[in-house]
Structure 1
Amino acid sequence: MLSGSRVLIVDDEANARRVLEVLLKKLKCDVLSAEHAQAALSLLRETDVDLLITDLNMPGMNGLELMAMLRDEGHTFPVIVVTAYGTVETAVAAMKQGAFDFIIRPLDVEQVELVVRRALEVNRIQRENQFLRDESAKGWDEFIGQSQSMHQVYELIRQAGPSKASIFVYGETGTGKELVARAVHASSGREGLFVPINCAAIPADILESELFGYVRGAFTGAVKDRVGKFELADGGTLFLDEITEMPPATQAKLLRVLQESRVDRLGSNRSIEIDLRVIAATNRNPLEAVKQGLLREDLYYRLNVLTIALPALRERLEDIPLLAVHFIEKYRSSVQYGASTPLSADVCEALLNYDWPGNVRELENMIERALVLSQGQTIALCHFPREILNRSTQEIPDENLQPTNEGNLEMEFNVERLEISLLAQALSLATGNKAKAARLLKISERTLWYKLKKYGI
């Protein structure tokens, strides 16, 4: 699409700039202009563009020198050079140095539109590919947690990443199964894409065509060939989320693909060789799913070369303060609060008392909600929904005096739980400042660091 694309024109002749501006505005482009290369570079340091059109012969820095400067500064948008009829050789030389194409004066409206359209389409595809590469690279930086159970998960990911083995990830909803799959892909060294597909979110009659692709005429509505997820993930990783929701017939076809490393598009009799890694995930116990007939036994054992089990959030309480602070930092800019927003002491205690049936995803949503309602002030219990309030220390005043698990009076267990709560409260009130937190707790900084390390906070 040309509409809304931002194009920068660089030419020392005002009339030449105006002619191009008129042509591009008729194509519904947003147009910027500069009378020389230095002015163009200044503009580009303040704003992004989708395309640059520059004259070759300009006083001071010419078009070729401008292109060299753009490369040095890391710009990747296409460049079209404008030249007079007698200097086409110079324009060809410019293309050898990285120009996308050239247009000749006097300008031909159809030629300008054709070249500009092609350049903007190439730029769009390059940006989409970069987005896909960035998405594929996501992994380790998304993990927040220092509990022992999470360190075990990290170690499994490091061990599994470089191998080609299929992996089965299971855990409750909201525990981060896709994050694990992305981290495995990021650790694998595979150059292809990370391609996720949620088997529960796609109707059964469409899922097969999404996975395998199809050729024109394969069924009513198949008006052109389409690449499936298997082919898209060639050289990379295919993540099959909620695989127990996949119809049994499709599971059988998936097993064949895994065994033969070949895929047939629907309606085609030609097999395509593929090289991909499959990571499957479910929020069910996989063996129970096999017993219930939701997952083929042969497929389970084919996928379950390595298993990564994710702990529920209630099983790693020491990670809750870290996650809460992380989500505050993540969302405070979106609600336009520049300063850190602390958590009140009773909120810290309530977060540790709550069972978190929705796990990390639920915690993230609640922190975002509380941040919006707090209006940049200290986040208090009143900013959380009723289910949190019903478990707060205000609603259950004696809870701090009760053992965490019914009948568990072990001193060390309960003291550690109380220390974790106090450390979390102090860090929140101190907005992460360790020295200030130590003063609030009336302990030395050395003791604070020791306890933070001890509890993985």
Structure 2
Amino acid sequence: MSNKHVLVVDDETNMRRVLEIMLQRMGYCTDSVENGVAALEFLDTRDTDLVISDLKMPVLGGLGLLEKLRAGGNDVPVIVITAHGTVESAVEAMKLGAFDYLLRPFDVDALNLAIRRVFAAGEVLRQNQFLREELDRGWGGLIGSSEPMRQVYEQIKQVAPTRTGVMILGETGTGKELVARAIHRESERSDRLFVPINCAAIPADMMEAELFGFDKGAFTGAVRDRVGKFELANGGTIFLDEITEMPIALQSKLLRVLQEQTVERLGSNRTLELDLRVIAATNRRPQDAVRDQRLREDLYYRLNVFAIELPPLREHPHDISLLVEHFVAEHGGRRARLTPRALDHLQRYAWPGNIRELSNMIERALVLTRGDTLDVEHFPLAASTAAHPVTGASSTSTPPPDLSLGLEHAVEALESRMIRSALEQTEGNKTKASALLGISERSMWYKLKKYGLN
């Protein structure tokens, strides 16, 4: 049985019944009403995937129904059927937004083909919308000519053409999602969707529904069917970012999905076969996460078939000039030159937030400068710590502030260092770090974003 719901609108009782039987045999859920007014009332309270409406009906016919639906902002697809078809009525129906127009008598195959075209077009629109949102969300690119980055490029070339699962390791902000996208783009699945999921950003009680979807009525608040991310990614690639932040109980369900290559929506007994590639990522050491029971050992071995470890920015500082050039163009839309003195400061800075922090810092610098030159004073955080770079995760010392920066920027530099130190001491646990600093979690998230540390 399909999850799709079809509403039949016809003033003839026998025709409504015939259409419902035909649709139910095709596997669709159905309801029926006798005219356009009843259809509008029905659609105000129920979600429907398709309306099949007669053209000529008392009270409100098919054209009137179409007109009122579109005027009210309802874009549900409509197929119009009639025994009294004319070219003029067909043209009018299409102008009003009908998807298709069928003349009676029609056979089951003609109706089935028309319905399949509706749902195929809907899938394309849904994927296009998803892609537009992903493009809007994207930032930066894989940029760098250093030896560490060349090794990453070589690994991408090796694994992309295969069906092998990949585990991407690296600190926050090193570009793990960009590597995952590059693997997808170079694979045989590049014409299908790449669906990213940030396991750290989804509330635990919502994650199962987000991953696997749900049917209407599956739980309180499930007022309509929802396609899960696994179903959406079918045929393409799914990217599970920060996999160690997924609740351990849900990891067992994820493992079963990966082993059986099937998924069921919550509240449904319909099993969907999957054909997708899984790429996972984490900013933790996977072995430590397994030891700390943040990652199931069997899931780790399932995901970690081919590992790619991204270097932190401090290990390839000579790529900074290329990255700055890219981010200047991306954020500024104008030409701005980095002075040699500023480049030296940036290359000696520790970059705890890595490439994402650099992107944020360039955006801020472009706001601070009024000309076409970016100098040391436009990078107060980097300038204040470049002379005292953090060389390892164990460093917690706090160098004295550079008073030439002024009070505001000096305070920001100190605040950024204290947050990094708290995160290091709590192994990246933001809740514990905020408690250690005596601030709320909300304030912590704001400051992480402000300084490019999230």
TM-score, structure 1 normalization = 0.58
2:364 is the counterpart of 1:375: no
Matches within 5 A, 1:408-423: none
Partner of 2:192: 192
Partner of 2:308: 308
Q: CA deviation at 1:192?
A: 2.3
Partner of 1:158: 157
Q: CA deviation at 1:188?
A: 1.2
1:140-160: CA deviation from partner (whole Å, max 9, x where unpaired): 992110111111111111111
Task: In structure 2, list runs of 5 or more residues that go unmatched.
Answer: 1-66, 74-84, 102-118, 393-454
Q: CA deviation at 1:390?
A: 1.6
TM-score, structure 2 normalization = 0.58
In the alignment, the residues of structure 2 paired with residue 364 and residue 126 of structure 1 have an alpha-carbon distance, to the nearest angstrom, of 33
Change (3 A) 1:357 1:188: same
In the alignment, the residues of structure 2 paired with residue 184 and residue 140 of structure 1 have an alpha-carbon distance, to the nearest angstrom, of 17
State whether residues 240 and 279 of structure 2, in contact with CA within 8 Å, keep that contact through their aligned partners in structure 1. Answer: yes
What's the Cα RMSD here? 3.7
2:182 is the counterpart of 1:183: yes
1:394-444: CA deviation from partner (whole Å, max 9, x where unpaired): x68xx9xxxx99xxxxxxxxxxxxxxxxxxxxxxxxxxxxxxxxxxxxxxx
Partner of 2:173: 174
Deviates more, 1:134-143 or 1:304-313: 134-143
2:355 is the counterpart of 1:360: yes
Q: CA deviation at 1:374?
A: 0.7
Matches within 5 A, 1:193-232: 193-232=193-232
In the alignment, the residues of structure 1 paired with residue 352 and residue 252 of structure 2 have an alpha-carbon distance, to the nearest angstrom, of 33
State whether residues 166 and 279 of structure 1, in contact with CA within 8 Å, keep that contact through their aligned partners in structure 2. Answer: yes
Q: Which amino acid aligns with 2:307?
A: T
The SS at the match of 1:269 is coil
Q: CA deviation at 1:131?
A: 5.3
Q: Percent identity?
A: 54
Change (3 A) 1:27 1:231: closer
Q: CA deviation at 1:126?
A: 5.9
Q: CA deviation at 1:372?
A: 1.5
In the alignment, the residues of structure 2 paired with residue 210 and residue 289 of structure 1 have an alpha-carbon distance, to the nearest angstrom, of 23
Partner of 1:341: 336
2:331 is the counterpart of 1:331: yes
Partner of 1:391: 385
In the alignment, the residues of structure 1 paired with residue 260 and residue 351 of structure 2 have an alpha-carbon distance, to the nearest angstrom, of 42
Q: Which amino acid aligns with 2:91?
A: F
Q: CA deviation at 1:345?
A: 2.1
Partner of 1:103: 92
Task: In structure 1, list runs of 5 or more residues that go unmatched.
Answer: 1-22, 30-85, 93-100, 105-110, 406-457
In the alignment, the residues of structure 1 paired with residue 345 and residue 364 of structure 2 have an alpha-carbon distance, to the nearest angstrom, of 16
Aligned pair count reads 295
State whether residues 136 and 193 of structure 1, in contact with CA within 8 Å, keep that contact through their aligned partners in structure 2. Answer: no
Change (3 A) 1:134 1:201: closer
In the alignment, the residues of structure 2 paired with residue 122 and residue 300 of structure 1 have an alpha-carbon distance, to the nearest angstrom, of 36
In the alignment, the residues of structure 1 paired with residue 281 and residue 321 of structure 2 have an alpha-carbon distance, to the nearest angstrom, of 27
Q: CA deviation at 1:389?
A: 1.9
Q: CA deviation at 1:139?
A: 10
The SS at the match of 1:239 is strand
Change (3 A) 1:211 1:122: closer
1:46-100: CA deviation from partner (whole Å, max 9, x where unpaired): xxxxxxxxxxxxxxxxxxxxxxxxxxxxxxxxxxxxxxxx993xx89xxxxxxxx
Change (3 A) 1:345 1:141: closer
The SS at the match of 1:268 is coil
Partner of 1:321: 321
Partner of 2:441: none
In the alignment, the residues of structure 2 paired with residue 225 and residue 307 of structure 1 have an alpha-carbon distance, to the nearest angstrom, of 36
Partner of 2:244: 244
State whether residues 140 and 327 of structure 2, in contact with CA within 8 Å, keep that contact through their aligned partners in structure 1. Answer: no
Matches within 5 A, 1:44-123: 88=87, 102-103=91-92, 113-115=96-98
Q: CA deviation at 1:370?
A: 0.6
Change (3 A) 1:184 1:125: same
In the alignment, the residues of structure 2 paired with residue 367 and residue 139 of structure 1 have an alpha-carbon distance, to the nearest angstrom, of 17
In the alignment, the residues of structure 1 paired with residue 127 and residue 261 of structure 2 have an alpha-carbon distance, to the nearest angstrom, of 25
Q: CA deviation at 1:264?
A: 1.4
1:228-272: CA deviation from partner (whole Å, max 9, x where unpaired): 111111000111111101111110000001111011111222221
1:30-58: CA deviation from partner (whole Å, max 9, x where unpaired): xxxxxxxxxxxxxxxxxxxxxxxxxxxxx
Q: CA deviation at 1:216?
A: 1.9
Q: CA deviation at 1:322?
A: 0.7
In the alignment, the residues of structure 2 paired with residue 293 and residue 87 of structure 1 have an alpha-carbon distance, to the nearest angstrom, of 69
In the alignment, the residues of structure 1 paired with residue 289 and residue 233 of structure 2 have an alpha-carbon distance, to the nearest angstrom, of 26
In the alignment, the residues of structure 1 paired with residue 337 and residue 154 of structure 2 have an alpha-carbon distance, to the nearest angstrom, of 32
The SS at the match of 1:207 is helix
Q: CA deviation at 1:362?
A: 0.4
1:204-232: CA deviation from partner (whole Å, max 9, x where unpaired): 11000111111122111112221111111
The SS at the match of 2:238 is strand
Change (3 A) 1:128 1:209: closer
1:262-297: CA deviation from partner (whole Å, max 9, x where unpaired): 111112222211111111111000111111100000
Q: Which amino acid aligns with 2:145?
A: Q
Q: Which amino acid aligns with 2:314?
A: R
State whether residues 289 and 295 of structure 1, in contact with CA within 8 Å, keep that contact through their aligned partners in structure 2. Answer: yes
The SS at the match of 1:149 is helix
The SS at the match of 2:195 is strand
In the alignment, the residues of structure 2 paired with residue 197 and residue 143 of structure 1 have an alpha-carbon distance, to the nearest angstrom, of 20
Change (3 A) 1:148 1:160: same
State whether residues 140 and 326 of structure 2, in contact with CA within 8 Å, keep that contact through their aligned partners in structure 1. Answer: no
Q: CA deviation at 1:376?
A: 3.1
Change (3 A) 1:214 1:165: same
Q: Which amino acid aligns with 2:213?
A: G
Q: CA deviation at 1:128?
A: 5.7
Partner of 1:267: 267
Partner of 1:44: none
